[in-house]
Structure 1
Amino acid sequence: MVVSGVLDIHTEEALQDALCEALNQSVRGIDLDLSEVEFCDCSGLNTLLSVRRRALDEGRTVALQVASGVVHRLLSITGTRSLFTVPDEEHENGGAVSGAPAETEGMSLAEADQDLRIELVQLRRAMQTRPVIDLARGVLMASFGLSAEDAWKVLVTLSQNTNTKLHHVADDLVGAVTGAALPEPFQQQVAATVNKLQTEPVTPGVG
């Protein structure tokens, strides 16, 4: 299944419906091609995790085959990339259909349980941190006149360049609105990233 465009709070319902429909029509699950996704935030990630949970309950899989840079970064930051990976045993068998679900085939019960626990922790974390992350995006959008996508880029860049978890970055940015001091490295990174985004030349569209 090929998914493209923007995956955020405005498109999560449509994404959920499309993925569930594809899952309903599948035998073993769905393979995702996210190479054309231009933007993905916690809303999109929550949707992917939710559908994966449903697929697992039904003995099927949601496997990520190709992803764009923005999707790779989000999965890396949240530690959820491994949850969408098909086990090597399936590739070695040439993708042949077997009696066991691809996600649990060749895995011990302990390994399967560990995988489920990781997913649950990541899903809960994403749900808990989403409000403050969305607030931080709003702060950046209002403060610098950024689009939702550019505000997300600032948050991700700040997280990567300061080696700080995304929700901690968001906490500090929201706290700064109420008078808390924003760490100097954060101020410098925000200023540099915003300046870069605002001075990047706009590529004319082809019409």
Structure 2
Amino acid sequence: MPESEDRPSATVGSPGLTIGTAADGDRTRVSVAGELGLEVGEELRGALRAALAHTDEGLDLDLSGVSFCDCSGLNVLLAVREQALAEGKSVTLDRISSVVERLLSLTGTLPLFLPAAGMNGTEQELGVEVVQLRRAMQTRPTIDLARGVLMASFGLSPQDAWEVLVAVSQRTNTKLYRLADGLVEAVRGDPLPEPLRREVAAAVARLAAAGTAEAD
């Protein structure tokens, strides 16, 4: 469909992040490229909320250009999704990168952004979806704490600590929030199960080896 005259396309963003919007009939397409971490969270939130305010039906997101996304980026998407539900609109994923797909799959939030999860359900189904959104948002503080534990314990950067969490979650088939709970409880005195402890150590070692190889 042609773009409407009162909602022209636009591209904004700070270095490392590009956000483009374009009207598509009653919906707005938002293309995001770059790294979605804590430092760009508010910028992304503002851009998505502005786009949501100027669309009648909702947003279709193209995240195929996202090269990094952690729970801070996910939390922005969840918050905008909940706002859209409250306004009778929807936020769906049109295209996503493998990085985003991995994060959404690990956190169990991918179904919330599929076109089928739009506004066509019953009131009860929508109520369940809101509960799921809020639950997903509530897991972020624990995951951020766990990332801090890895950073302090192994001298990792925020991004490397995130990669370790994701790698261990995948290799052990453990939900990301459950792994995070275990790491936080380990600091409080409850030992991390030995299989998980070994996987964490192995993931850190692999990361260090990869860094050494790149330096050479």
Which residue of 1 is the match for residue 6 of structure 2? none
Which has more strand, going by share of residues? Answer: 2
Give the aligned length.
185
Q: Check conservation: 2:82, 2:133, Cα contact below 8 A.
A: no
Q: Check conservation: 2:75, 2:140, Cα contact below 8 A.
A: no
Instruction: Pick one of 35, 40, 59 that aligns with 1:11.
Output: 40
Distance in 1, Cα, partners of 2:194 & 2:128 = 37
Which residue of 2 is the match for residue 202 of structure 1? 214
Could you list the runs of 5+ residues in structure 2 that have no partner in the other structure?
A: 1-29
Question: What amino acid maps onto 1:202 in structure 2?
Answer: E
Q: Check conservation: 1:133, 1:167, Cα contact below 8 A.
A: yes
Q: Which has the higher contact order (CA 8 A, sep 6+)?
A: 1
Q: Check conservation: 2:64, 2:95, Cα contact below 8 A.
A: yes
* Pair 1:60–1:178, CA change in 2 (3 A): closer
Matches within 5 A, 1:1-207: 1-87=30-116, 103-104=118-119, 107-109=120-122, 113-118=124-129, 120-200=130-210, 201-202=213-214
The CA deviation at 1:84 is 1.4
What secondary structure sits across from 1:36 in the alignment? Answer: strand
Distance in 1, Cα, partners of 2:105 & 2:126 = 16
Superposed CA RMSD in Å reads 2.3
Question: What amino acid maps onto 2:90 in structure 1?
Answer: T
Distance in 2, Cα, partners of 1:158 & 1:175 = 17
Q: What is the percentage of aligned positions where both structures have the same residue? A: 55
Q: What is the TM-score with the length of structure 1 in the denominator?
A: 0.79
Distance in 1, Cα, partners of 2:41 & 2:105 = 20
Deviation per CA, 1:18-39: give whole Å up to 9, x if none. 0011122323222111112222
Distance in 2, Cα, partners of 1:79 & 1:122 = 10
Q: Which deviates more, 63-72 or 174-183?
A: 174-183
What secondary structure sits across from 2:88 in the alignment? Answer: coil
